[in-house]
A and B are shown apart, each in its own frame.
Chain A
Amino acid sequence: MTRSWINPVVQAIPPSGIRRFFDLVSEMKGVISLGVGEPDFVTPWHIREACFYSLEKGYTMYTSNYGLLELREEIALDLERNYQVGYDPRHELLVTVGVSEAIDLAFRAILEPGDEVIVPQPCYVSYNPCILMAGGRPVNVETWAAAGFQVLPRDIEAVITPKTKALLLCYPNNPTGGVLTPEVAQGIAALARKHDLLVLSDEVYAHLTYEGQHVCLAALPGMKERTILFNGFSKAYAMTGWRLGYAAGPAEIIQAMTKIHQFTMLCAPITAQKAAIEALRHGEAQRSKMVAEYNRRRRLFVKGLNEIGMHCFEPKGAFYAFPSIAVTGMNSLAFSEALLREEKVAVVPGDAFGQSGEGYVRCSYASSMANLQEALVRMGRFIEKHRQSAG
């Protein structure tokens, strides 16, 4: 047998279910894609314009490992303004290459071999692999449409062991659109305090909350010292390709994360950082406009899904609907492939986000109103054809 050069941990990680589906879709023409996990808006012009200006002025160099202090100060102000939670921009904030990098850094900074991290599913595709690559062990907890895809404190408590070190939360959630109610968030916070757990809270969709206020985990009593808060610019400001996020947390953890960051990434790109300063200072009007548009699409699309028989829990955040495909009796992958082949609508199979996503598909409504309406017509036709006869 020839020698394999690949680390067995990496070898054992299955490729992203989304990636497989992408290869299938990219060969087809005339597809309406609801499979896209990013805004369909282009970054607002004033932000792009600020970026040109920074290049003209010659801002093409490294920044501090932590990121530009000016940006960290704006981030601290933003967190204070939105959630009344105060962070010291010098010691408690780290600017990263997207939230993705921040999450990877956090796991690498905190996990020892065998440490367990509780991760509710369905969830974004990168958490489990990042935990595994950092030597930890993901412990997945299922969430349910009936509870609005919130992870319930009792379900968390059931899997806590002496090895449990952290709990990862992502609300508003990708792929379900679920958000945490204040009551559930309080319950989770109490549990974290009781069992002395660290909470990693990916709040990248925080601004995309359509009903009620976003609950910032770090802002709950006694939580700031045990929470790493992640956020970024991708979703709220339509800046996915700029790759800019940040982590806010206890100085000790931020310092440890920065140690890894300085030896691996050095710093986030200065051009993106300059643009992010503009986004935080002057981006609210454009951001609110985009959020209002997502909200209108959400209402239209979710109503449409329910009308064609794809029962859908009402998503209150992010820009995803996560309808059940139970009426067809198909599994997620078969459904998605057939829908793509027969009606040229691309959705993402729910099981790409964990086993508990089986029986659902993720539909992104970050697409034009006309696309959404046409997709609903096509999906309605598809459901009619494949609806399992009752009984």
Chain B
Amino acid sequence: MKELLELLEENDRLTPAELGVMLGLDEAEVKAKIAALEAEKVILNYRAMVNWEKAGVEQVSAVIEVRVTPQRDVGFDEIAERIYRFPEVKSVFLMSGAYDLLVEIEGTTMKEVALFVAQKLATIENVLSTATHFVLKKYKLEGVILEDHEDVKRLVVSP
């Protein structure tokens, strides 16, 4: 199960037939497993990983440290939900340490991101403070090195 997930996490375009051969399972078995994993929401989504910079599309990302006052009974969950419902928000994590929520935002301009923080995020009830850090350059994303210079250097034939 773990190996199947690892393979799909790396390349979701592998067909059930290919996965079956690689894992030593029948195609039908693989299909059933994948269907179950999708139903259980273990597999959340399939999508392409895009290097937008290379695609020539302007994009600005920022991570924002957010300090909040937790609510009775629901803790941080309710306030987290108020934040993650915004489509501009890419990810939200509850953190240990000096702040509570780490929020990742994506927008087309710095101004757009800054306005979102000032007008939407900072004004939410129980948000105490925000600290916005703009991303200058992405080197590695989800385990993939964006500009990998490590090309093939092997001889074409060797004993």
Contact of B159 among A31, A124, A303 (CB under 8 A): A124
Contact of A33 among B18, B22, B23, B157 (CB under 8 A): B157
Q: Which residue of A lies closest to B156 (CB)?
A: A33
Q: Which residue of A lies closest to B154 (CB)?
A: A36
A25 vs B152: C-alpha distance when bound (angstroms): 16
The answer to the question of A382 belonging to the interface, with a C-beta cut-off of 8 Å to chain B, is no
Chain A residues lying within 8 Å of B154, measured Cβ to Cβ, are 33, 36, 38, 40
Q: Name the distance in Å between B117's Cβ and chain A's nearest Cβ.
A: 36
Q: Are B158 and A299 in contact (CB under 8 A)?
A: no
Contact of A22 among B18, B23, B157 (CB under 8 A): B157
A297 vs B21: C-alpha distance when bound (angstroms): 9
The answer to the question of A2 belonging to the interface, with a C-beta cut-off of 8 Å to chain B, is no
Contact with A along B141-159 (1 / 0, CB 8 A): 0000000001010111111
The answer to the question of A144 belonging to the interface, with a C-beta cut-off of 8 Å to chain B, is no
The A3-45 residues at the B interface (CB cut-off 8 A) are: 16, 18, 21-22, 25-26, 31, 33, 35-38, 40, 42
Q: Are A22 and B22 in contact (CB under 8 A)?
A: no
Chain A residues lying within 8 Å of B157, measured Cβ to Cβ, are 18, 21-22, 25-26, 33, 35-36, 346, 348
The answer to the question of A383 belonging to the interface, with a C-beta cut-off of 8 Å to chain B, is no
The answer to the question of B75 belonging to the interface, with a C-beta cut-off of 8 Å to chain A, is no
A sample of 8 cross-chain residue pairs with beta-carbon separation below 8 angstroms, ordered by A number, consists of A18-B159, A22-B157, A25-B156, A26-B155, A42-B150, A124-B159, A299-B21, A346-B157
Q: Are A303 and B158 in contact (CB under 8 A)?
A: no
Contact of A37 among B21, B23, B159 (CB under 8 A): B159
Chain B residues lying within 8 Å of A300, measured Cβ to Cβ, are 18, 21-22
Using a CB–CB cutoff of 8 Å, the interface residues on chain B facing chain A are 3, 7, 18, 21-24, 150, 152, 154-159
The answer to the question of A126 belonging to the interface, with a C-beta cut-off of 8 Å to chain B, is yes
Q: Are B156 and A22 in contact (CB under 8 A)?
A: yes
Contact of A16 among B18, B24, B155, B159 (CB under 8 A): B159
Q: Which residue of A lies closest to B18 (CB)?
A: A300
A297 vs B150: C-alpha distance when bound (angstroms): 21
The A69-127 residues at the B interface (CB cut-off 8 A) are: 124-126
A192 vs B152: C-alpha distance when bound (angstroms): 43
Q: Are B22 and A35 in contact (CB under 8 A)?
A: no
User: Can you add 13 more A-B contacts, CB < 8 Å, to A22-B157, A126-B159?
Assistant: A16-B159, A18-B159, A22-B158, A26-B157, A33-B156, A36-B155, A36-B156, A37-B159, A124-B159, A296-B7, A296-B23, A299-B23, A348-B157
Chain B residues lying within 8 Å of A126, measured Cβ to Cβ, are 159
Contact with B along A348-371 (1 / 0, CB 8 A): 100000000000000000000000
Q: Name the distance in Å between A23's Cβ and chain B's nearest Cβ.
A: 9
Chain A residues lying within 8 Å of B22, measured Cβ to Cβ, are 296-297, 299-300
Chain B residues lying within 8 Å of A21, measured Cβ to Cβ, are 157
Chain A residues lying within 8 Å of B3, measured Cβ to Cβ, are 292
Chain A residues lying within 8 Å of B21, measured Cβ to Cβ, are 299-300, 303
Q: Are B158 and A40 in contact (CB under 8 A)?
A: no
